[in-house]
Amino acid sequence: MKILPFSAWYPKLEKISSPDTFFGTVKERYTEYHEEGYFKKMPTQAFYIYQIASGTASYTGLLATLPTEEYIKGNIIKHEQTIAQKEEKMIRLVLEKGANMKPILLTYAAVSSIDELLQDWIANHPPLFSTYLEAEQSHHHIWSIEDNSLIKQLQILFEGSVKSTYIADGHHRTATMGTLQTQNGKGTRKGDFSQLLVALFASNQLRISEFNRIIRVLAHISPAEFLEAIQNYCHIELLNNPQKPPGKYSFITIIGKDWWLCKWKENTLKEYDLSAIPLDVQILNEKILSDILQIKEVRTDERIQYISGNKGVEGLQSALNKHPNNIGFYLYPIPIEDFITLANQHQILPPKSTFFEPRMKNGLVVRRLI
């Protein structure tokens, strides 16, 4: 994979009294902030190391650009379908702001020599800047790599060792740049859309959580009726305490204060090609949401509320406490190796299958387009 250094703008933290407010509003107010001098430009093209630390977790990746043509040709692999309406909204935003304010999160199979180079640079150089976001309790650190020999070394390693990258977060941003680059080639757009601003985090620097579900359906089916119906597909067991599902092909159903461990029956799994790695979320959508609860379109049905898995047992329980008459589903996250296998098979995952960490912020590193 051919990676390129780029000319970046970054925030003047000395002018920012509240990082939480600034980075929380920069997506909407970027033009205003830029014109008022809240950003400064790096004097040379560079790569950037981006490290995010929150609690006991720490994630380190490389900010660079990739040719947009790599996405157009299918070499940057996606796992979600984009929604045309959302892509059109994103195009308007990019053209209005004239900048990429947030990198596309890409992952790749870890390469130890790349990891070592990044960690060595961090150990021996001060960061370009650091900021702390109190609301998220997260530290964000940026190091610039302007050393031409290291830039070249990283380019050689990526080109020789990283054959594919996978979109973890930013499908609509990627598709938007692909569309704008195609239009630009036809002379219908003004701006440089030839490069994608990306954050390359190796698979060992990434965490996949699940998206859990709360379903508003108990007005139409009683708990007893639901539990009877679900046993056509699952073995169920009442748990003594709230807990996460133990592994693949299991999930938790929450009704009221009762937490039930559910494991797919062998006959249910036999309906799926196990070599294609059927996902719990796929089976849940088809057997439970569609067949039992009559929810046919999970993308648009307003009876579904999604809770990101990073909020844990407590987050799901708290959301359910606000709506005690609903049913909750706690899923097991997709392992990173399964995610990469499915992406290589060009399979499109069901909506809200994955919640990736780290979560990057708008405005930390910006690439101007116009």
- Average pLDDT in the 57-67 region? 97
Q: Which residue has the higher pLDDT, 219 or 116?
A: 116
Instruction: Please provide the average confidence, as pLDDT, over all residues in the chain.
Output: 93
- Answer yes or no: is pLDDT of 304 > 90: yes
Task: Quote the pLDDT of residue 220.
Answer: 81
Average pLDDT over residues 247-264: 96
**Nearest alpha carbon to residue 110 among 71, 59, 145:** 59
pTM for the predicted model, two decimal places: 0.90
- Please say if the pLDDT value at position 162 is more than 70: yes
Whether the pLDDT of residue 274 is over 70: the answer is: yes
Asked if pLDDT for residue 224 goes beyond 80, the answer is: yes
Average pLDDT over residues 355-365: 93
pLDDT-derived band at 300 (thresholds 50, 70, 90) equals: confident
pLDDT above 80 for 187: no
Single-letter residue type at 83 = I
Closest C-alpha to 66, from 139, 1, 119: 1
Residues in CB range of 309: below 8 A, 6 or more apart: 209, 210, 211, 212, 331, 333, 355
- At residue 186, the pLDDT reads 66
pLDDT at 79 over 70: yes
